[in-house]
Amino acid sequence: MKVKELISELSKHDQDLEVICFTEDEKFLQENHLFRLIEIESINVVAGEKRRGDDGIPTLKLGSDGYSEKHVMINLLTDF
């Protein structure tokens, strides 16, 4: 999702509401839970290249060389 798309979606709602994220991804779920709440801790801009590690898991190679691009990075917490 691009920043402008996120802003567009968020602007449709009351600007004073708290934003809470969630996931239904089974890798993040705790036993006997259907979803997991996630809170936004911070938002930063980083330079890096999106890629997959040798294990196939998506990752970001930080740095400004090669095929790197600027990305908005949202740091999430699973506890609040």
Q: How far, in Å, CA of 67 to CA of 40, rounded?
A: 28
pTM of the model: 0.73
> Could you give the angle at the alpha carbon of 25 between the alpha carbons of 24 and 26, nearest 5°?
105
Question: For 24-69, how does the pLDDT look when each residue is reduced to its tens digit (9 = 90+)?
Answer: 999 889 999 999 999 999 999 999 999 999 999 999 999 988 889 9
| Structure token pair of residue 31 | 């036993």
